[in-house]
Structure 1
């Protein structure tokens, strides 16, 4: 490997609109979320796209770590770069290698210091292109500004609401203007969809990402404040405060706060493909336009499309509702890293590639991959059409970046007015939980500490209960269940809940009646579920069911009944954590999907506390 030296990237103009330092009211949550995203496995997800390799071709190798939805696009841009004047001006040729590294993973790797966590030094990045400058700003704040250089946006995409086409038409789309206030009115009306003549569709349901971890989620809450104020510019902290009741009502429609839209879209896609085409799961999804375009092409999670892969469009597409009051925009930066492993030759080539991305030749490639060029005069092409659910003329109104204090006020307000939670944590304490996880702790130690760490993510008004299960125990909840805490407001009980969880270290441990425990927990939560809350079960199990009376098929039929079309106004969603290599991931995934929940992989049991926190970020 060549000698290492630091190199400053070429001058560029950053177009970031949100910076983590604005989020003073949520600094702890932001910091934990950054460390959590995409970090559930023992090894980083670092893979090259396009089937190429890193064989020495005699040119300077420039690796670009980028979010998955941009890998295919950057492959095409890399090829075009070879023919550009920017490439010709280099002293020696350069080859660009995009690799898929999630934005959160890259943030974690860079803030941790030291070398890039990949044994093959050929895959260590020269450049970084996360989904948003939120991530580059985080590294600049947590590590150093020189490490991330001067990020500059080279493409952007607006935040829209994706609505199933049939549902959108019921709201007057495409002729009628639809605003966030129209969604808020549907949320406020107890009749829900019946208020527009569709009683079979049940309540109006919105999916949003958590603003503490997601640029899209933060954009959405700012858009709500703009809508409530009637403004399209100059939003103030006083406007945000005045919008509190409007936003509170809007948040009541949220099914749960996800960490990524891709997982929500995958759930919706699976329902449309396997069912009749409609869905009672969600009515509108706050997402980026590029994600909607990927969904409508049959790529709901925006994964890297491999050569020869065939995509199947959904039976019913999502259409983009550009709120009449205006949209925020997300940027996509690229920067040359100031890391020790980046050589002067790589830095020079990277700066040339970044410059090329600003040229007309590069900007004309972007629309082919669902991204908008910075230059509005560049034609958008065939993808940006009604056939794929978008309007090339939208959004009609662009909402500008609010001031620092305004963004902080919006985050602080959301923490107070977001939909409250009612959560039952169900923990497997069977005999296998005594196994070590390699850091001096047992699996049970990790589970206890993970559950304890989540308590700080709940408000005092959130309801929290804790059950444990194994064979040979009994409580008022039934056979094989221990009730550590009934589901009730957390209030000031964090210390007593901590103590109750500690008691599990001395509990009787035997078999694994997994399905019976889930069935009992589901009955408990359905009996107390309220429309105004996120009703959820967080399940942790390290093994396969060994002692249940109910079968998996019967359990799935039972828990899936209320999530069918028309659905229940107070669904109970299950969020299983597959803990350790012995966990039955297939069964846990089926259980999650049956209720519209999401399953989490904690095969690296040492990271269970981080995974628990990520689960709670969905509430």
Structure 2
């Protein structure tokens, strides 16, 4: 046992934790020395408790013990800051924290727990005295930061609502809880953070925020400043006055990068070789690209890119390709977007896309799935356009590339195949996460908004953002020598200028003609359960779904090819479970009308013949396969497979799909919509079955368990095309 005491001075208490970590994973000091690259004598000195060891040695020691150094850095920083101070007094009361940033992570070699009482002792020794903030909300805690306004302990009389992009909303909500209510102009104002992706918030604010959009924001923080001029351009006469002329200061920043599985990047010469959008465009046009690099098993070059109408990374990637073609790093004009060479490069980049998405979550979730398969992550995708912070967070074990409460996003072990960030040599755009106080916010709310921004800009809070991969609000890395993996914090980055408002609008309006088209079969469940009434609406599930599915059909472009099926057991020819309503074909005006009329004419009957329908739908899309399109099935169902014959399990379905395309030359992605709550009634686990099918085909499952949300879910589905 260690002779050190957890009640000693900060250096001794920290050494106690280091020794305890090594003992609990069952390693000798000699074994840690061999794994860390430091001598046994150096490690013995570092853990004798007389002085705090250097971070470089500490980081290597922790990693050698199988734990994550990033989770220990805040404790080391605070121990260093208080090493010469007297021990902190015990608090009268303490609160626990739901945030993960300040807790020790579980080692992959051994899951070790710390009792609450023992944890509080360590927190006190290291100076993390978690005093309950007067009236503060729940969430994570950070060391106190003094701001100009006083805190208030009485009942709150006003709320400052902040609509934040999904990649930082959970962390911002926890920081708002730590900030607590503050007093201004005689009012006690609390800060409340809601999560909404940048493009969706832009559309809602521009058309007029509705009750169905959630709480109306006083402050808007999209991932990038470009969304503000786009909102102004789309605003109605009534909403135009809402938007300030200029975006507010950045909260934190992150450069837009091309993320690539590390083995692929190293095969191209990373980190010594620089790449750009011109390279990406040429790689995309070569179906034998990876074979030429000695890796035929990786197939063609495949790109993941988010939809620029919704996602900042997708918008920045599109703009980056325009900048690179024009040859400018500062100036763009609207007529630049019309140049043939710009259209040619954009189309080359877009046509290497496997599919689009509203956020990078779909790509990262599928990467984690592929990471567990025999073929590994490179078999799924070659590169994804995303922010640097998502690369760092993904490598640290956050499957969604951010600190998030979303399903499947909880922190886990780091991936086997890490991602690395490539910084386009032509230049990068920064996601600057602006703090935009909307016009009309005055008095106490405006004062608290300014005070909260000052709190976010403090050095202590900027370090909190850095834990999840962000740079500071001045675009500088907070800890360039830290343990984060996959980024190049000391690399020279050429920063592109902010495009004018008219260029931004022109790029988005031109994108539909340049994007990769879709070859899609839409399948709608018409089983008898779709005739059930939805409480509080007076309508059946089928009646609610009809306008939403018409919207889905209308969302496809004239360059897309779309078809329509309905399905329920035994309704088709020869007892099949589906009826073709509109064959797959070019989405011209006549086809739009035909699809709309058939959706309106749907009637509910029969049981749910799910898996055989999906199998046949994939076969049909393969029969009309287009190498230059996104080939997919979009299927909506409110039930589980009710048939006693045919394919019975989602894994059996995936085996059948893969058996017909063993070489993987015609992948068809199955995007599913879990509609209504009956899928999981009585332990059926129908939603999980759809998740298995979608993930197994490199797609995504969407939830509309509340049938009244189906319209918003359809918008999310459309973002993939």
Partner deviation per Cα, 1:515-568 (whole Å, 9 max, x = no partner)? 11111111111222222110000001111110151121310222356899xx62
| Counterpart position of 1:198 | 295
Map 1:84-123 → 2, pairs under 5 A: 97=191, 99-103=193-197, 111-112=208-209
How many angstroms apart in 2 are the aligned matches of 1:116 and 1:405? Answer: 27
Change (3 A) 1:500 1:313: same
Change (3 A) 1:335 1:470: same
How many angstroms apart in 2 are the aligned matches of 1:440 and 1:311? Answer: 43
State which of 44, 49, 55 in structure 1 corresponds to 2:139: 49
How many angstroms apart in 1 are the aligned matches of 2:212 and 2:578? Answer: 46
Task: Give the number of the structure whose residues are more often strand, by fraction.
Answer: 1
Q: Which moved more, 1:543-552 or 1:443-452?
A: 443-452
Change (3 A) 1:183 1:275: same
- Give the secondary structure class of the aligned counterpart of 1:204: coil
| Counterpart position of 1:530 | 626
Q: Where does structure 1 lack aligned partners over 5 or more consecutive residues?
A: 1-46, 119-123
- Give the secondary structure class of the aligned counterpart of 2:251: strand
TM-score (normalizing by structure 1):
0.79
State whether structure 2 residue 327 is matched by structure 1 residue 247.
Answer: no
User: By how many angstroms is 1:489 displaced?
Assistant: 1.3
State whether structure 2 residue 247 is matched by structure 1 residue 184.
Answer: no
| Counterpart position of 2:6 | none
| Counterpart position of 1:442 | 540
TM-score (normalizing by structure 2):
0.69
CA contact (8 A) 1:272 1:315 kept: yes
Partner deviation per Cα, 1:51-102 (whole Å, 9 max, x = no partner)? 99xx9834867655334443565478669869xxxx8x97889786564522
| Counterpart position of 1:25 | none
How many angstroms apart in 2 are the aligned matches of 1:378 and 1:521? Answer: 49
- Give the secondary structure class of the aligned counterpart of 1:472: coil
Change (3 A) 1:402 1:282: same
State whether structure 2 residue 403 is matched by structure 1 residue 303.
Answer: yes
| Counterpart position of 2:434 | 333
CA contact (8 A) 1:560 1:594 kept: no
State whether structure 2 residue 512 is matched by structure 1 residue 405.
Answer: no
| Counterpart position of 1:465 | 563
| Counterpart position of 1:270 | 369
| Counterpart position of 2:421 | 320
State which of 615, 623, 631 in structure 2 corresponds to 1:519: 615
Change (3 A) 1:76 1:471: closer
State which of 350, 356, 379 in structure 1 corresponds to 2:449: 350
CA contact (8 A) 1:563 1:596 kept: no
CA contact (8 A) 1:578 1:585 kept: yes
| Counterpart position of 2:382 | 283
| Counterpart position of 1:571 | 667
Change (3 A) 1:331 1:569: farther
User: By how many angstroms is 1:116 displaced?
Assistant: 9.1
State whether structure 2 residue 715 is matched by structure 1 residue 590.
Answer: no
CA contact (8 A) 1:50 1:72 kept: no
| Counterpart position of 2:257 | 160
How many angstroms apart in 2 are the aligned matches of 1:575 and 1:542? Answer: 14
Q: Which moved more, 1:515-524 or 1:191-200?
A: 191-200
How many angstroms apart in 1 are the aligned matches of 2:174 and 2:209? Answer: 31
User: By how many angstroms is 1:50 displaced?
Assistant: 2.9
User: By how many angstroms is 1:487 displaced?
Assistant: 1.0
| Counterpart position of 2:38 | none
Change (3 A) 1:439 1:62: closer
Higher Cα Rg, which structure: 2
How many angstroms apart in 2 are the aligned matches of 1:113 and 1:353? Answer: 26
- Give the secondary structure class of the aligned counterpart of 2:490: coil
Change (3 A) 1:490 1:364: closer
State which of 425, 431, 449 in structure 1 corresponds to 2:528: 431
The count of residues paired between Structure 1 and Structure 2 equals 550
How many angstroms apart in 1 are the aligned matches of 2:371 and 2:646? Answer: 32
Change (3 A) 1:501 1:391: same
User: By how many angstroms is 1:256 displaced?
Assistant: 0.6
Alignment RMSD, CA only?
3.4
| Counterpart position of 1:607 | 709
How many angstroms apart in 2 are the aligned matches of 1:267 and 1:523? Answer: 22
CA contact (8 A) 2:171 2:403 kept: no
CA contact (8 A) 2:523 2:636 kept: yes
User: By how many angstroms is 1:616 displaced?
Assistant: 1.8
Map 1:540-559 → 2, pairs under 5 A: 540-547=636-643, 548-552=645-649, 553-559=651-657
User: By how many angstroms is 1:356 displaced?
Assistant: 4.0
How many angstroms apart in 1 are the aligned matches of 2:170 and 2:519? Answer: 41
- Give the secondary structure class of the aligned counterpart of 2:571: strand
- Give the secondary structure class of the aligned counterpart of 2:403: coil
| Counterpart position of 2:224 | 132
State which of 310, 318, 323 in structure 2 corresponds to 1:221: 318
| Counterpart position of 2:550 | 452
Q: Which moved more, 1:508-517 or 1:605-614?
A: 605-614
| Counterpart position of 1:257 | 356
Q: Where does structure 2 lack aligned partners over 5 or more consecutive residues?
A: 1-136, 143-150, 680-685
- Give the secondary structure class of the aligned counterpart of 2:512: helix
Change (3 A) 1:100 1:613: closer
State which of 571, 576, 582 in structure 2 corresponds to 1:479: 576
